[in-house]
Chain A
């Protein structure tokens, strides 16, 4: 029986399968590796591995349940982060890169302003919001999914450092009264004739994006190396030494002492 809160699918499993099909269609870089995966306390609808080896939690939210689901998705990031290395050992074939931060995708019919505003504080692509709607198409139930811009249209958003620094230079930015009074030739409203006309909103540089990029958490690692992963792979794989000639290297005498008994001390 179809359930409205599950976008018309009979049960959660049907919905997950449909979601997997649609995600595979629009995000071919994601590889879904599990459905119904138990996280910290609740079940993720899907678990995927991204193109950079990052783990991606996928959650579906019933209408008006997006806030709670978003909280669970954020908890998934912490839970997944702690298990990346273990999973790499358990399943090296999945292509997990433990150095890449996990991400989350939340699907819902509609997201509240609070959910969007909350996601707007996170670094780009950490949590993606996707609108999700079930429709009947030629007698078959389908899901329509579409990414949601987390940036709220409300002007009450706090400006980022770059945005704040650049804003006074923008021609359309209201000036203080004393500044206007000092330029009597300028009209009371509209752009000054000696300045270029302000570009349309869509053409303006997106300082918000720049500010958010600057807010991305820097890598906390102070580890130093000039090596690349390829440097740690043998340059040439020669034949395995035969038991009759244990020291294949001509620089080492055949009667070189064995390595047993070498004791190392920590530190």
Chain B
């Protein structure tokens, strides 16, 4: 039985995504091959869902690149970087195309170096950028490239150094529309996140900002923390904050980070893995909804 809208969302979204790549070799060589090789004729071995995802799509939506999600992360923010990497892994596992665009200076840092390769390991692009606009330019190119090779949408994550975020002129970062922030139930973290939101909104009105509450053990804890932050943002900034669920802070998270492995791979039944899957689902659904315009 469907649990919520997300369980049936895939029945509606594929029609607005990019056209599928032809599977048959002959079709690749000769695009106007016979009707048996057209994408609208799914193979009998496909599941009904696969068949739906392979339906031809509208040309208008096919021009839309993947969504770009900016994540402000400090150069020593290992835990949040690891969580971002894990979110990218889970998004890929759910069928989305993903990439992580980071500044070239991250090549020598510990933020991304410890991750072990795997089937859903996201591609990390080191970009010789000097400000946020360069990162977004690289992310936009990558989003366009991925758009051509995917039928299910996806997300290009961008690691935004906080100092770049505040220094960049607003005009240079028009591509910056969607931001993910991490916060925690601690009062000081909530205040710091609100200040960051305030600065972002003052510099770039119209920004879509979402928040994931991490370090919680209970859903109510995360809900209370988010509601308090959302209330302040609404009352003081007139901003409707988006919620991207919660992440737990149990030992499995740190074990997986230390091992450089995806949490969903090492401890798939742990609360941390379930929470990551849920947050990735929310992000992925929003990314696909953004394709709808």
Name A residues whose Cβ lies closer than 8 Å to a Cβ of B.
85, 98-99, 220-229, 231-236, 247, 249, 251-253, 256-259, 262-267
Contact = CB atoms under 8 A, between A and B. Distances in A.
A82 to B, nearest CB: 12
Interface string B161-191: 0100000000000000000011110001100
A51 to B, nearest CB: 18
Nearest to B79: A264
Nearest to B6: A226
Contacts of B254: 259, 262
Contacts of B282: 224-226
Interface in B264-283: 265-267, 269-271, 274-275, 278, 281-282
B218 interface: yes
Nearest to A229: B219
A259 B253 CA distance: 11
B33 interface: no
Given A224-B243, A232-B275, A249-B267, A267 B227 contact: no
A224 B245 contact: yes
Given A220-B227, A266-B193, A227 B79 contact: no
B232 interface: no
A251 B264 CA distance: 12
Interface residues of B, number: 58
A225 B245 contact: yes
A17 to B, nearest CB: 35
Nearest to B184: A266
B78 A232 contact: no
A222 B219 contact: no
Given A225-B222, A227-B219, A252-B258, 14 more contacts: A98-B220, A221-B223, A223-B227, A226-B3, A226-B282, A252-B259, A256-B255, A256-B258, A256-B259, A263-B77, A264-B77, A264-B78, A267-B192, A267-B193
Given A226-B278, A262-B78, A264-B80, A232 B4 contact: no
Interface in B206-254: 217-220, 222-224, 226-227, 230, 240-246, 248, 250, 254
A262 B245 contact: no
Contacts of B32: none
Contacts of A262: 78-79, 254, 257
Contacts of B6: 226
B242 to A, nearest CB: 8
The 4 residue pairs across chains A and B that have the minimum distance between CB atoms? A266-B192, A265-B74, A235-B269, A224-B243
Contact of A232 (B243, B244, B271): B271
B258 A259 contact: yes
B216 to A, nearest CB: 8
A235 B270 contact: yes
Given A222-B241, A223-B226, A232 B255 contact: no
